[in-house]
Amino acid sequence: MSKSKFVVITGGTKGIGKALVQKFAQNGYSVITCARNEEDLNKLKTDIEQNHGAEIHTKSSDLSQKEEVLAFADFVQSITDTVDVLINNTGVFLPGSISEEPEGNLEKMMDTNLYSAYHLTRQLLPAMLKQKSGHIFSISSIAGITAYASGGSYSITKYAMQGFTKCLREELKEHNIRVTAVLPGATYTASWEGVDLPEERFMKSEDIANAVYSAYELSSQTVVEEIVLRPQLGDI
């Protein structure tokens, strides 16, 4: 088993996930990541290896499926027995109101936004508990603390993610494992493609990654429990 420092980032090929992969790679971490699209993963791997000289392991996975979450966990454990950072980033956004959104929206987003994080964390936690160290980040959303009319089931899943993260924090504080909820507002990612707003109205994915890394960089005596980020001009 390698003695490199490892970060596991789900959904690493786009938006915030890609910015996180780049940030940790720049700082010498070995990265393990997944996404559904094999071609996107190959492009990411080439970018990280050529531009950052970092070790990166990728696996094509659909984390809305529990069996694929477990398979990704097995993949991680085949590479390293120590995970220093786990960033549960995978998510899907399907807009709509509770009364009018398509049937199945809640189930699809719950599978992707909450259950993937729940099952992967449960699989990787034993190693963190054994080493008595680690940091778990939940990439959630402002929608997890602020309800809005078109948020529908997306907001429900993000409120649930907050509950999951808060429970983890209480369970793990005595084990020297830090837990942080990250709650970004509108960030310029694929979720906002086609919206008739200038790019500068949104936050940059790199800013979210920098905030996460800064929280991680603090001493083990301190934990940032929540990072709330909004565009300078406010929510969209």
Summarize pLDDT for 109-158 with one digit per residue, the tens: 999 999 999 999 999 999 999 999 999 999 999 999 998 888 899 999 99
Confidence of residue 193 (pLDDT cuts 50, 70, 90): low
Give the contacts of 134 (CB within 8 A, at least 6 positions apart): 83, 84, 85, 86, 128, 177, 178
Contact assessment for residue 225 and residue 180, using Cβ atoms and an 8 Å cutoff:
yes
Confidence of residue 197 (pLDDT cuts 50, 70, 90): confident
The Cα 33–Cα 45 span in angstroms is: 10
User: In this structure, what token pair is assigned to residue 180?
Assistant: 């942080």
pTM for this model (two decimals): 0.95
pLDDT digits (tens, 9 = 90+) for 76-115: 999 999 999 999 999 999 989 999 999 999 999 999 999 9
- Please check the confidence at residue 42 and state whether its pLDDT lies above 90: yes
pLDDT of residue 191: 67
**What domains can be seen in the chain, in order of their start residue?**
6-186+208-228 (3.40.50.720)
